Every structure is written in C-alpha cells, then in structure tokens.
Structure 1
Amino acid sequence: MSNLGLLLNEWKAAVAAEAENSGRTPLLLSAAVLYLPYYYSTSVPYPIQAVSNSLDWINLMAYDFYGPGWSTVTGPPAALYNPGTTISGDYGVTSWIQAGLEASKIVLGFPFYGRAWQLANANENGFFAATVGAALSDAVDYSQIKDFIDENEATALYNETYVSNYCYSGTTWIGYDDVQSVSAKVAYVKDKGLLGYFAWQVSGDDNDWTLSRQAASTWGA
C-alpha cells in the first residue's frame, strides 16, 4: 500500500506535467477500489492521503458481498445496509469518510447482474437460506434475470432492510438489484453528498435500459 501511494503521487505529478507542457486540460485520474478503506484480509489501509491528493475520485466496488463461490447461504450481493455486519455499501462509504476521504470523491457502485444459488430446500427461500452451490451461470445479467422471472413465473421481492432484490423459482434463487434498490442507492448517494454512482456493467441492463433510466431519473429528480 505504501508503494501504491507513491505510484498515485507519481501519476498525479505526471498528469500535471503533461497538462503544463501540452496546454491542455489535465487528465482525470481515478481508481476502482474495495468498498473498505483497507484490505479486509489483512486490515492494511489504503494510502488515504495519496488517494485524496492524487485521485479525482474513487469507484467504490460495493458488490459481490455474497456469491455461491464463497457463500454457503443466499445473501444480498450488493446490500446497501446489512445490520450487525460490516458487509454493506453504507459501511464502506462511512469507513472511507471516517478514514479521511472527502465524500465528494466517492462514487458508489452497484451491479447490473445478480448471483444465483441452488437452494437446499425450496421452501426456505429468503436471505441466508441454505444452498448446495451455484445455479445457472453464477453471475447472471439483469436482462437474463428478467427473462428468468418471466419464463418461470418466479416470485420476485424487494427487501428494504438490505436494499436488495431477490427472486426464486423452485430451488433456483437469485439475488440482484432492481429498480427499487437502484433508486434507493442513488437517493442515498445524493443524501450523503457523494460524487455520483456507477454500474458494473451497463451492458447487463435490459433492452429498455430499465436500470440505467431509473438511476438517471432518481439522480435528476
């Protein structure tokens, strides 16, 4: 992390030098980072001062909290809130700000895909239900999730506690973001004074650009 700080400072200096020599507007410098301000397995912190001084913004990857490759139970893949835990977008945003980064340099990310599990018991189908592994293709684009719901007449629900959606049919269970959670997250970004939001990735949206339009509508409301 110390070397990362040196690298960011060198990049910023190079950007300034290039702008001065070319007479052009300085290039923008950003980075996609873990939702936490430290590497979670070792608690080694990001070089906050270098991030603040050298980057125009950071993209907070607030997703992949739960997935069949590393979670034995279902879970909200990109929960904005997760009471009693540190596994949420809000916890990450709050932690970065408390570590010393300005809210105006934080961009909150959310996924245009979901994570699919196979339930151990079709009758136990909420968050944190037991599973026996992945279903479908593990990561499932939003457009594919909508097709799955329509083709299987799947039950689709929104949970405002976690700010996350999920659907299920039989033993197939998918956690994802839909219009309700995307709208709530963009409203959160505005309320917290963050720089903005981003999606990974836009190509996962449906043909009507449902999630993209919802996010833009909420941002401009």
Structure 2
Amino acid sequence: MAYSKKFPFLIPFLLFMLHLHESTAQIKGGYWFSASGLPASSINSTLFTHLFCAFANLDPNTNKVTISSSNAAQFSSFTQTVQQKNPSVKTLLSIGGGASNPSTFSAMASQSSSRKSFIDSSIQQARSNNFHGVDLDWEYPSSSSDMQNLGQLAREFRTSLINEGRNSGKPPLLLTAAFFHSSNYYSLDYPAKAINESFDFINVMAYDFHGPNWFPNRTAPPAGLYFQRNSGVYQVGGDQGIRSWIGAGVAAQKLALGIPYYGYAWRLVNANNNGLYAPATGSAFGGDGSMGYNQIRAFVSQNRARCVYNSTVVTDYCYAGTTWIGYDDVQSVTAKVNYCKRNGLGYFVWHVGADDNWVLSQTAYRTMG
C-alpha cells in the first residue's frame, strides 16, 4: 500500500503493461456484423480470443460516437452473450466501417476539441456497454494531413485510456484499429511510429485486392497471400502488405492478418478457359459480385462446381459454366494461419456470420493451435 501512495501511477501502469502483453499474444479475432442475420447468441465464441462488434457510428455534428437504436439492445448485451460460451473472450466496439463517411472521420481528427469528443464518447460507450476495448475503423485516411491527424488521435487516445484506467481503477480498455493492407495508402504513409506505440494491435485488411467491378477483364484472387508476376492484373498480396507494416516499424506481434469469409464472382468469357487470370466480363451476378462463404458453398453444391486451390498465390476458386468465384476455403485459411504462426502474427476474420457451420473458424483456430 505504501508504494501505491508514493507512486499512484505505478499499479495502473503495471496493469496496463500486463494487459498490453496479453492482448498481443496469438490473436484470433472475428468481426460480428449486426446486419449479418447471425444472432450474437449463435456465435461460437470458443473459436476466438477477440470479437469485434460492428458498427458504432460517428456523429458528424457532435463528433461523438453513437449506437443506433436498432443496435442498442444487441450491443449492450454482446459481451455477456458471447462470454457465456467463452468467458475469456475479449470484446471490442468497432466504430466506422466501410459504409461510413471517411470525411466525417477526417473532420473529427483535424481538431483537438473534436478528437477529445470522439475519444471521450468512445470510452463512455465502451464502458457503458461492457466492452473490453475500442476498435477504430476509419476507411481511409486519404491525405497527408489525415495521416498526421491519425497519429495525433492515436497518441491522445492512448493517453486518455491510461488516465481513464487509473481514475476508474479498471484495466485500461484495449485500443485496436482496422487499417489498409499496406502501411502506404496510395503513396501516403500511415503514421507507423504512433500506431506502434498507441495501439494494442491492428487488423490488416488483406483482402479486396481484386473484384469484378474494379478488375472486370480477368479473374483474379480477391485476397491472395502472394502475387503472381506477369499475370496481367494488379500485383498485390497479403504478405506484401504485412512486410510493409513491419518495415515501417510496427511490431509483428501487433499485426493481425485479415482473412475474408467472402469472395467475388466473375463472368467468364469462355467456360473452357476457367483458371486464374482467365478473360472475364465483370460480375457474374450483378452488383459488386461479392458472395459470403456460406453462399459460395451452396453454389458449389447446387451447381456441382469444380473447386481448385492454388498454393502459389494462396487462393481457392471454383467455376461452373461461365461463373467463376475467387475466395478463401479451408486450404487457403490453413496456409494463411500457418503463415501467421511462422511470422509471429495474429489473424482476424470478416465476418463470422458468413462462415458455413463454423468450418473456416474451426480450421483457423485449430491451425493456430
């Protein structure tokens, strides 16, 4: 007790360091999307160390984090619900997402006062809804000032979490983020030093590399771990992105590789030319061509589709007639998680509601060991 009076910061700091160490060990993360149709009570939480509850919103007028009325009940009970099957799973409130307006985040991050409103309301929402942390999903900072402000936001967020933990007597909330697959966003560098120092870990979105709406003329791996040179498509892969983050100064144990539970469907020009990088004419089904893993497995079954695993790129694909779908199946997930093990990384999946009877999640969990 004498030490705590003389150094009132010491015990909370030591708790924070222990908390930080625990949070970066062998991450097996999964996002749950409230609109997915999968009730939180149906999540097999025994297969995850961290579950992200998506999404809370950023109010452009107040710069405060809000939870929609339609999500309020699900979010407030999320932690209690998923801990019934796995009492040790950590839950995080994810803010933003691909459907949010990036300019709202840009405006928030540009001023000290608005950053404070965002941070304080994030902490309040996480605490009042019994989450263990906050996950920032700003897609994407797209100017040099955005990147600079993101670094400032990260540092201020970490300081606030330490102070809130000290004042509340509770372990500090986790702080994570979902970032672009590379530390360089189309010639703009993420503030890697601030990210490494401020976040417990980051989720690297190593997917959406190719899709029929933005690469319509050839089939391609939507989330290949590696890329094939001279393939005629944009050369990008998850390994390339991970290496860029490590090269920028973010510790490997703070990186979780993203694994998509969905793929994209192209329309082949010729049903007999059906391999990777085959000529195509855009989406097979309209829209952006995206399909959840459970939908892809149903397509395979109903159409007796031929399934192929390419170990060079690390991707699965299937085809039937002129429909060609690139995605991650058991083989790709196994290879990617083994890659994570070799390189000291964690992994996360988007999203758990698209799994097929937990096949992919069980594969990832067992492979990581």
> What TM bracket, shorter-length normalisation?
over 0.9
Uncovered stretches (5+) of structure 2, i.e. residues with no partner:
1-146
Aligned match for 2:303, one of 132, 152, 157: 152
**AA at the equivalent of 2:219:** T
Give, in whole Å, the separation in 2 of the partners of 1:5 and 1:144.
39
Give, in whole Å, the separation in 1 of the partners of 2:215 and 2:227.
15
Give, in whole Å, the separation in 1 of the partners of 2:302 and 2:285.
14
Aligned match for 2:196, one of 33, 38, 52: 52
Give the match for residue 291 of structure 2. 140
Give, in whole Å, the separation in 2 of the partners of 1:91 and 1:33.
14
Identity %: 52
Give, in whole Å, the separation in 1 of the partners of 2:247 and 2:338.
21
Give the match for residue 197 of structure 1. 347
Aligned-partner SS, 1:186 = helix
Between Structure 1 and Structure 2, the one with more helix by share is 2
Q: What CA RMSD, in Å, does the superposition of the two structures yield over aligned residues?
A: 1.0
Aligned match for 2:178, one of 13, 32, 53: 32
Give, in whole Å, the separation in 2 of the partners of 1:155 and 1:83.
22
Residue correspondence of structure 1 range 163-202 to structure 2 within 5 A: 163-194=314-345, 196-202=346-352
- In the TM superposition, residue 96 of structure 1 has moved relative to its aligned partner by 0.7
Give, in whole Å, the separation in 1 of the partners of 2:200 and 2:154.
11
Give, in whole Å, the separation in 1 of the partners of 2:358 and 2:151.
38
- In the TM superposition, residue 133 of structure 1 has moved relative to its aligned partner by 1.4
Give, in whole Å, the separation in 2 of the partners of 1:29 and 1:59.
11
Give the match for residue 264 of structure 2. 115
Aligned match for 1:12, one of 141, 158, 167: 158
**AA at the equivalent of 2:176:** S
- In the TM superposition, residue 76 of structure 1 has moved relative to its aligned partner by 0.6
Give, in whole Å, the separation in 1 of the partners of 2:248 and 2:192.
7
1:69 aligns with 2:213: yes
- In the TM superposition, residue 86 of structure 1 has moved relative to its aligned partner by 4.7
| Distance change (3 Å), C-alpha of 1:95 and 1:86 | farther
| TM score, norm. by length of structure 1 | 0.95
Cα deviation digits, residues 130-178 of structure 1 (max 9, x gap): 1111013611011111111111111100000011000000000000000
Equivalenced residues, count = 216
**AA at the equivalent of 2:313:** Y
Aligned-partner SS, 2:174 = coil
Give, in whole Å, the separation in 1 of the partners of 2:196 and 2:360.
30
Larger RCO, structure (CA 8 Å, separation 6 or more): 1
